[in-house]
Structure 1
Amino acid sequence: MRQIEDMEARLADRLAQLRVERGWSLDDLANRSGFSRSTLSRLERGEISPTAALLGKLCEVYGRTMSRLLAEVESEAPQVVTSAAQPVWRDETSGFVRRSVSPPHPGLRGEVVEATLRPGADISYDAPAVAGLEQHIWALDGTVEITADGRTHILEAGDCLRFRLWGASRFRCPGPGPVRYAIFVVLP
Structure 2
Amino acid sequence: MGDDLEARLARRLSELRQERGWSLDDLASRADVSRSTLSRLERGEISPTAALLGKLCVVYERPMSRLLAEVEPEPPQLVRAATQPVWRDRATGFTRRGVSPPHPGLRGEVIEATLEPGADIAYEEPPVPGLEHHLWVFDGALTLTVGGTASSLTPGDCLRYRLWGPSRFVNPGRAPVRYALLIVLP
**With structure 2 as the length reference, what TM-score do the two structures score?**
0.59
Structure 2 partner of 1:128: 126
Correspondence list, 1:8-27, <5 A: none
Task: Return the offset for 1:77.
Answer: 5.4
- Matched residues in 2 for 1:115 and 1:130: separation? 20
CA contact (8 A) 1:135 1:162 kept: yes
Q: What is the identity percentage for the equivalent residue pairs of Structure 1 and Structure 2?
A: 63
In the aligned structure 1, how far is the partner of 2:173 from the partner of 2:135? 18
How far apart are the structure 1 equivalents of 2:132 and 2:163? 6
1:93 alignment counterpart:
91
Does the 8 A contact of 1:77 with 1:107 survive in 2? no
Unaligned runs of 5+ in 1: 1-75
Paired AA for residue 125 in structure 2: A
Cα contact 2:119–2:171 (8 A) shared by 1? yes
Distance of 1:153 and 1:109 partners within structure 2: 26
Q: Secondary structure at the match of 1:102?
A: coil
Say yes or no: does 1:159 pair with 2:157: yes
Query: Alpha-carbon deviation of 1:139?
Result: 0.2
* 3-state SS in 2 of match to 1:80: coil
Distance 2:76 2:107 in 1: 14
Kindly indicate whether the alpha-carbon contact (under 8 Å) linking 1:115 and 1:181 is maintained by their aligned counterparts in 2: yes
- Per-residue CA deviation, residues 27-75 of structure 1 (Å, 9 max, x unaligned), is xxxxxxxxxxxxxxxxxxxxxxxxxxxxxxxxxxxxxxxxxxxxxxxxx
Match of 1:177 in 2: 175
Deviation at 1:107, TM superposition (A): 1.7
For residues 77-116 of structure 1, the aligned pairs below 5 Å read 78-116=76-114
For the pair shown, the structure with the greater C-alpha radius of gyration is 1
C-alpha deviation, 1:85, in angstroms: 2.3
Pick aligned residue for 2:137 from 125, 131, 139: 139
> CA offset at residue 78 of structure 1?
2.9
| Cross-structure match for 2:71 | none
Q: Is the 8 A contact 2:75 2:101 kept in 1?
A: no
SS in 1 for 2:99: strand
Give the RMSD, CA atoms, in angstroms.
1.5
In the comparison of the two structures, how many residue pairs are matched?
A: 114
Letter in 2 for 1:127: E
User: Which string of whole-angstrom CA distances, capped at 9 and with x for unpartnered residues, describes residues 72-96 of structure 1?
Assistant: xxxx853311112211000111000
Task: Deviation per CA, 1:76-121: give whole Å up to 9, x if none.
Answer: 8533111122110001110000001112101211011100011100
